[in-house]
Amino acid sequence: MDLKEFDRKIILEDGSEYLGYGFGSDCDRVCEIVFNTSMVGYQEIVSDPSYTYQAVVMTYPLIGNYGITDDDFESKNMTIGGLIVRDYNDMPSNFRYTKTLSELLEENNIPGISGVDTRKLTRSIRDKGSRRVLITDVSTSLEEGLKIISDTAVPHDAVEKVSCKKRWYSRTSNPKFNVVAVDCGIKLNIIRCLNKFGCNVTIVPFDTSAEEIEFMNPDGIFLSNGPGDPEDVTPVIDMIKKMRGKHPIFGICLGHQMISLAYGAKTYKLKFGHRGGNHPVKNLETGKIEITSQNHSYAVDDKSLENTDLSLTHINLLDNTVEGVECKKDRVFSVQYHPESAPGPQDHRRAAHHDLLCAGHSVRGHHLCVGPRRRDPQRRVGHHHGPAGLQVPPRLWPQGPRVHGAVRAGGRKAGRTGGHVLLNREEASQSLPPAGGKENAIIFSGGMYGGKNTFQAASVEFVRHRRANYARSRL
């Protein structure tokens, strides 16, 4: 039996060539070559905007065996540069699949190549670093291919290419927070996770000004992942400089790097980046190790953090690179990995949820009203003690207050204690009880949402506070 002849090949800028078989589109493409060590999730990788202008080598040998499903996309538009695999399976076995991987790539004009020695290619990337590559027809000569690579300019518009062009919304039932998400290449599962955590999300283009975001009066600002060099995304960096300290800001991946640049830190390009679903990250505050999903070419210089207001919160245990930073006074924090992880490990989602709630519990600049959480046995609705010590049902609460969180932990059960105290944010942070002696309470703050009163509770935990002043809340 005659073997199938190679019909496609890749040419690296160092002159090395790898032959293979084409699938997907048969177009030529110049990209940056990178590798991903994930065993599953090729659909999420192909649809991840962070891979714009990149050809991804999958180190796991069998790709395509479960096809493509309609519910697992991370973006509506495919912008990956190309896909390089060892063995491609064009006959999926999956009751959910609606098309093959090759059909998806062909529809979006993305070249794929199989039959490549991906072990050798991955070692080359690991030893020599990421390089530019041409995916082309097997008839293209080496000299011609190298000329095409050298004549192709390095793009710097990756974020502009993948960001949304106008504002759009993703709402959820019983929302607790309103979040503005700056789209630098946001993945759809990030938005789904924010909705799951009780956030109405407004997704805006990357070049949205600080004044426009301030006009929306959000409870927090989310900076998404995205492709390319963070120093190219100057509109977002300028926006962070103007908005820090006004609203809580949380960034992941590219957002993490842009936050660091806005505070005066520096970034640099890694030799071959971090891409995979099993990267160990240590939380320096808790000492716990989280297994994370990552996809980035750049990292924050840890030494450059010394002269900024940012403090180091997470490190990568593989190479000790920066994985998380925080500025407590400005309520700004970020992580380099992807907490939403679809698919991937989920042991760090709990921490991301906790950080989101802690950032949201004091987002408004009004006084905090701390009182015990009560429940009316007749109406089965929450109550709180008014300033005069009277129980006031929610329908009679004064115009404007919003519930930002319920302190929920050990101690006495809700409804067993009375009292009320009106504190500002600084007093409240010093007056709640320490761990082990916490009371159930509801925290209110002035503010309106959409012209209507809303009263939503979000669980937040306060620890290591002084017990001495807590007696004021029992007066």
pLDDT tens profile 359-370: 544 433 322 233
Instruction: Give the residue, 414 or 49, on which the prediction is more confident.
Output: 49
In whole angstroms, what separates CA 281 from the centre of its chain? 15
Q: How far apart are CA 324 and CA 135, in angstroms?
A: 36
Q: Residue 451 pLDDT > 60, yes or no?
A: no
Task: Judge if the upstream peptide bond of residue 343 is cis by omega within 30 degrees of 0.
Answer: yes
Q: What is the mean pLDDT of residues 233-249?
A: 96
Contact in structure between 224 and 264 (CB atoms under 8 Å): no
**Rg of the chain in Å (alpha carbons):** 26
Contact in structure between 70 and 94 (CB atoms under 8 Å): no
Beta bridge partners of 10: 18, 135
Stated as kind and residue range, the H or E segment containing 279 is: strand 267-283
Tokens 């070419």 belong to 297
Spell out the residues 6+ positions from residue 198 whose beta carbon is closer than 8 angstroms to its own.
172, 174, 175, 176, 177, 456, 458
From 74-78, 234-238, 315-319, 339-343, the region with the lowest mean pLDDT: 339-343
Contact in structure between 170 and 38 (CB atoms under 8 Å): no
Question: What is the predicted pLDDT for the residue at 308?
Answer: 95
- For 282, phi then psi, to 5°, come to -100, 130
In whole angstroms, what separates CA 60 from the centre of its chain? 25
Burial (CB count within 10 angstroms: exposed 0-12, middle 13-18, buried 19+), residue 112 = buried
Question: What is the predicted pLDDT for the residue at 445?
Answer: 32
Instruction: Give the residue, 436 or 83, on which the prediction is more confident.
Output: 83
Helix (H, G, I), strand (E, B) or coil at 384: strand
Spell out the residues 6+ positions from residue 223 whose beta carbon is closer than 8 angstroms to its own.
182, 184, 236, 240, 249, 250, 251, 252, 254, 255, 256, 258, 259, 334
Tens of pLDDT, residue by residue over 251-273, are 999 999 999 999 999 999 999 99
Question: What is the predicted pLDDT for the residue at 78?
Answer: 95
CB atoms within 10 A of CB 375: 12
Question: What is the predicted pLDDT for the residue at 446?
Answer: 30
Question: What is the predicted pLDDT for the residue at 354?
Answer: 53
Q: What is the mean pLDDT of residues 64-75?
A: 95
Question: What is the predicted pLDDT for the residue at 358?
Answer: 53
CB atoms within 10 A of CB 39: 15
Contact in structure between 116 and 18 (CB atoms under 8 Å): yes
CB atoms within 10 A of CB 121: 21
Tens of pLDDT, residue by residue over 110-167, are 999 999 999 999 999 999 999 999 999 999 999 999 999 999 999 999 999 999 999 9
Q: Residue 410 pLDDT > 80, yes or no?
A: no
Amino acid code (one letter) for 238: D
Q: What is the mean pLDDT of residues 3-8?
A: 90
Q: What is the residue-averaged pLDDT of the chain?
A: 80
pLDDT band per the 50, 70, 90 thresholds, residue 275: very high
Tens of pLDDT, residue by residue over 316-327, are 999 999 999 999
Question: What is the predicted pLDDT for the residue at 3?
Answer: 75
**Residue 14 in tokens:** 């160092």
**Residue 72 in tokens:** 């697992």
Q: Residue 333 pLDDT > 60, yes or no?
A: yes
pLDDT band per the 50, 70, 90 thresholds, residue 465: very low
Q: How far apart are CA 316 and CA 145, in angstroms?
A: 37
List the one residue out of 471, 461, 456 whose CA is nearest residue 440.
461
List the one residue out of 267, 33, 227, 226 whose CA is nearest residue 129.
33
Contact in structure between 258 and 237 (CB atoms under 8 Å): yes
Q: How far apart are CA 48 and CA 343, in angstroms?
A: 12
Query: What pTM was computed for the model?
Result: 0.76
Contact in structure between 470 and 432 (CB atoms under 8 Å): yes
Q: What is the dihedral of CA 70, 84, 256, 292, to 10 degrees?
A: 80
Question: What is the predicted pLDDT for the residue at 359?
Answer: 52
Question: What is the predicted pLDDT for the residue at 341?
Answer: 72
Please say if 340 is a catalytic residue. Answer: yes
Q: Residue 42 pLDDT > 70, yes or no?
A: yes
Q: Residue 356 pLDDT > 70, yes or no?
A: no
**Residue 344 in tokens:** 């991937």
DSSP string, 208-224: --HHHHHHH--SEEEE-
Which segments of 233-313 does DSSP mark as H helices, in order? 234-243, 254-262
Catalytic residue among 274, 279, 296, 338: 338
Catalytic residue among 253, 326, 327, 420: 253
Q: Residue 435 pLDDT > 90, yes or no?
A: no
pLDDT band per the 50, 70, 90 thresholds, residue 350: low
Contact in structure between 453 and 400 (CB atoms under 8 Å): yes
CB environment 353-370: b (16+ within 10 A), e (fewer): bebbbbbbbbbbeebbbb
Contact in structure between 256 and 324 (CB atoms under 8 Å): yes
Question: What is the predicted pLDDT for the residue at 349?
Answer: 58
Q: Residue 52 pLDDT > 80, yes or no?
A: yes
Question: What is the predicted pLDDT for the residue at 353?
Answer: 54
Question: What is the predicted pLDDT for the residue at 136?
Answer: 97
Question: What is the predicted pLDDT for the residue at 140?
Answer: 96
Q: Residue 418 pLDDT > 60, yes or no?
A: no
Q: Residue 388 pLDDT > 80, yes or no?
A: no
Catalytic residue among 340, 348, 404, 420: 340
Question: What is the predicted pLDDT for the residue at 340?
Answer: 84
Amino acid code (one letter) for 114: S
List the one residue out of 178, 174, 202, 199 whose CA is nearest residue 449.
178
Q: What is the mean pLDDT of residues 282-305?
A: 95
Q: How far apart are CA 420 and CA 398, in angstroms?
A: 15
- For 266, phi then psi, to 5°, come to -120, 155
Question: What is the predicted pLDDT for the residue at 4?
Answer: 86
Q: What percent of the chain has pLDDT over 90?
A: 70
**Residue 115 in tokens:** 């039959």
Helix (H, G, I), strand (E, B) or coil at 370: strand
